[in-house]
């Protein structure tokens, strides 16, 4: 983003934040109007606006730092956490106020048209205290959720299990299990003890195969160095395999020289080996069991709107069209655009990338995340014509240092042969 674009963004951000703060103040003022102590009313109002001003200054400084450095870490990341927490809380309050204002507007219109009010009466009724109180109580729910998400939710690791049936699965692989990790984003981690709990949970699954589907880091290869010893404890009888994600190429920062960027990328690739994972770069590996086999394909990042470097055709060279195939591809848009209709019949694609936006709701009766407006398939299992996609919600987090309702995921997939 250029300087003029950055300044325009910061100006709009400031104005919108100020308007939201002003609207929320209407609820506070309605409640304070019932207080008998004018000094307390004035003091609380002044404190509210001082805090609101400080909040706007902090988020503007945070975004300025992000634009200048290209990195989201330290206080800029705290600024993003604060911005999301406060904005969602404010919007919740404003939804109630807008509803009341709509009703007040109708009442005012009726009063004006009928002319039944005395000169001392208001055309538009005053705000009702109980609506403002309900708005503040309702807003405490998302506020508490975001506070939990920032301090605890981002390490609230969950195991998601799926059993997928295939008619042409080789008999030897009936019941074969795969643990999938994705989007570690090691540069965001601060609590090694909490990370180890997630790693231990992955180890406890004792799957036949372990795969990692990209975004090991945020920007720099050395981000993962403190965690290599922990991740290399993850082992599986049929091996550990990994691919690259869009963040792994070092494209989201400025490097002193092109050589520094290349050096960083080489270090990143070697980190996979140190962790005990075979990094797959547009290639395939034959997984053999009891005289039968399946093909594991791994491609570099390919995504709509992101780096599209992955070469699926190269990964398929030497693979029989009738072989059972599992594709590791970081971005699920690769499945939508290519894999699900590829003539070679790719049975299962494992992806990540979306994180489910780290914010949303998942219940037995339905689920929602802002990710749905960007990705047709943003979490979990999808199927078309017998070809499957699984989108992992991510092990780590990025930008927003928290998770609200979309918990960090360890996926366990069981392959089963469908009986004729």
Output the tens digit of pLDDT for each of the chain's 420 residues.
567 788 899 999 999 999 999 999 999 999 998 888 989 999 999 999 999 999 999 999 999 988 887 777 777 888 999 999 999 999 999 999 999 989 888 887 887 777 766 655 566 678 889 999 999 999 999 999 999 999 999 999 999 999 999 999 999 999 999 999 999 999 999 899 999 999 999 999 999 999 999 999 999 999 999 999 999 999 999 999 999 999 999 998 889 999 999 999 999 999 999 999 999 999 999 999 999 999 999 999 999 988 899 999 999 999 999 999 999 999 999 999 999 999 999 999 999 999 999 999 999 888 999 999 999 999 999 999 999 999 999 999 998 999 999 999 999 999 999 886
pLDDT of residue 417: 94
Taking the C-alpha atoms of residue 60 and residue 369, their distance in angstroms, rounded to an integer, is 26
The count of C-alpha atoms lying within 13 angstroms of the C-alpha of 159, restricted to the half-sphere facing its C-beta, is: 17
Q: Could you give all domains of the chain from N- to C-terminal order, each with its CATH number? A: 3-151 (no CATH), 153-417 (3.60.21)
Using the structure block, give the residue that is written with the tokens 């634009």: 67
Using an 8 Å Cβ cutoff, are 218 and 252 in contact? yes
Using an 8 Å Cβ cutoff, are 42 and 33 in contact? no
Alpha helix locations (H) across 115-177?
129-151
Reported for 143-147, long-range contacts at CB under 8 A and 24+ positions apart, including other chains, are 143/85, 143/88, 143/89, 145/404, 145/405, 146/81, 146/84, 146/85, 146/88, 146/89, 146/402, 146/404, 147/85
Tokens of 74: 């330290």
Using an 8 Å Cβ cutoff, are 281 and 241 in contact? no
Chain mean position to CA 135: 28
Q: Does residue 192 sit in helix, strand or coil?
A: helix
Q: Does residue 274 sit in helix, strand or coil?
A: helix
Q: Which of 198, 108, 114, 133 is nearest to 392 (CA)?
A: 198
């Amino acid at each position: 983003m250029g300087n003029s674009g950055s300044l325009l963004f910061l100006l709009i951000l400031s104005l919108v934040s100020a308007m939201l703060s002003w609207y929320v103040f209407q609820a506070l003022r309605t409640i304070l109007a019932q207080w008998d102590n004018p000094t307390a009313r004035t003091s609380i109002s002044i404190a509210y606006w001082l805090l609101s001003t400080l909040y706007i200054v902090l988020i503007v400084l945070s975004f300025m730092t992000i634009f200048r450095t290209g990195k989201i870490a330290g206080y800029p990341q705290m600024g993003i956490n604060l911005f999301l927490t406060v904005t969602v809380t404010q919007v919740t309050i404003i939804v109630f106020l807008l509803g009341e204002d709509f009703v007040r507007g109708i009442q005012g219109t009726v009063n004006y048209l009928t002319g039944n009010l005395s000169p001392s009466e208001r055309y538009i009724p005053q705000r009702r205290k109980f609506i403002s109180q309900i708005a503040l109580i309702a807003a405490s729910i998302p506020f508490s959720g975001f506070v939990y998400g920032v301090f605890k939710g981002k390490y609230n690791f969950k195991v998601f299990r799926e059993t997928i049936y295939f008619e042409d699965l080789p008999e030897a692989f009936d019941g074969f299990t795969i643990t999938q990790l994705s989007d570690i984003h090691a540069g965001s981690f601060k609590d090694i003890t909490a990370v180890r709990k997630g790693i231990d949970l992955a180890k406890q699954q004792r799957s036949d195969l372990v795969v990692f589907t990209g975004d090991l880091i945020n920007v720099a290869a050395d981000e993962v160095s403190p965690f290599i010893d922990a991740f290399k404890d993850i082992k599986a009888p049929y091996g550990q395999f990994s691919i690259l994600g869009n963040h792994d190429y070092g494209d989201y920062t400025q490097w002193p020289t092109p050589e520094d960027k290349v050096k960083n990328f080489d270090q990143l690739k070697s980190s996979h080996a140190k962790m005990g994972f075979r990094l797959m770069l547009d290639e395939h590996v034959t997984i053999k069991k009891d005289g039968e086999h399946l093909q594991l394909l791994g491609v570099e990042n390919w995504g709509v709107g992101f780096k599209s470097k992955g070469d699926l055709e190269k990964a398929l060279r030497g693979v029989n069209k009738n072989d059972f195939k599992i594709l590791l591809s970081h971005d699920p848009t690769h499945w939508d655009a290519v894999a699900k209709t590829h003539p070679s019949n790719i049975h299962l694609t494992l992806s990540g990338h979306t994180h489910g936006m780290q914010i949303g709701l998942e219940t037995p009766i339905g689920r929602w995340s802002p990710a749905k407006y960007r990705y047709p398939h943003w979490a979990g299992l999808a199927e078309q014509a017998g070809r499957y996609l699984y989108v992992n919600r991510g092990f780590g987090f990025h930008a927003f240092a928290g998770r609200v309702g979309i918990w960090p995921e360890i996926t366990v997939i069981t392959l089963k042969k469908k009986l004729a």
